[in-house]
Amino acid sequence: MNYLRTAMLLAGLTALFMGVGYLIGGASGAMIALVIAAATNLFTYWNSDRMVLSMYGAHEVDRNSAPELVGLVAELAGRAGLPMPRVFLMDEAQPNAFATGRNPENAAVAVTAGLVRQLSREELAGVIAHELAHIKHHDTLLMTITATIAGAISMLAQFGMFFGGHRDNNGPGIVGSILMMILAPLGAMLVQMAISRTREYAADNLGARIAGQPMWLASALLKIESAAHQVPNYDAERNPATAHMFIINPLSGHGVDNLFATHPSTQNRIAALRQLAAELGTHAMPSVGAVENYPPHGPWGRSSSRGPWG
């Protein structure tokens, strides 16, 4: 059902993009918009990973520079049936993570230094498993495409505003142009965020299954959200269009699901993970507030508040 909903939302985003092109230049404008979208997406397909990793100053690590982190990623990737992704570390105090790449064979997992320092090994496993789930679901490419189309819609809307005042017969007119400039990017943003929220629930579910313990991820989500309110991520502030890629919104938290949220509410995600834990026969926590005190244990040994590099 999540895949069907995502496909419908992506189709709506594409139709909106074509519609803006049609308003600007009729049938020929729609075709030009399609060509622009295709060219932009082709460039993004091959370069999206390098672009976003460069935005955050991420540097690649290996078994020599970060043996435990890379070893953990390798173990989880094996359990997920995925090729070993490249592993990157961001010199960022806010705990967070994202995955990128056009396919599982060319994927990368990036984590912040704050994530490594503040999470236990089990919680870190839950986060990495979530990112591997995005890779397995091909979400990294999907989210890049939606961000690209949404950005192109905003660009076209501004283009239509320019022509609206000079081409009364063919353009949308001044009033129509103003409305288009406001409503088209807003509609694109809503669809983009809806797709992001849909994929987060799916990645939580599969990631919890890969790690083997849903409560590891639940505990990590609560810690990351709490830190996101206190520790600013300046690179994310400069690149807000990438906020949906992180496991928790690096810009701000949201108490409930709403049209303007890039992520589901953390409480809703934890509730879904608690339900999954019950289905899998693992320990479910009694309440959302108790996650922080939940002591995860598992195949990687007992948890440590210092994390795997403490």
Residues annotated within a binding site for Zn(2+): 130, 134, 200
Q: State the residue for tokens 């949201």.
A: 254
Of the candidates 70, 68, 74, 76, the one whose C-alpha atom is nearest the C-alpha of residue 126 is 76
3-state secondary structure of 301: strand
CA 56 from chain centre, in angstroms, equals 14
Long-range contacts of 173-176 (CB under 8 A, 24+ apart): 176/23
Q: Looking at the chain, how many residues does it have?
A: 310
Q: Is 131 among the catalytic positions?
A: yes
Taking a C-beta distance cutoff of 8 angstroms, is the pair 196, 137 a contact?
A: no
Pick out the residues of the known binding site.
130, 134, 200
C-alpha span between 276 and 260 (Å, rounded): 27
Helices (H), the chain: 2-55, 67-80, 113-118, 121-136, 139-164, 173-211, 214-230, 234-238, 266-280
Query: Which residue among the candidates 131, 225, 237, 279 is catalytic per the annotation?
Result: 131
Q: State the catalytic residues.
A: 131
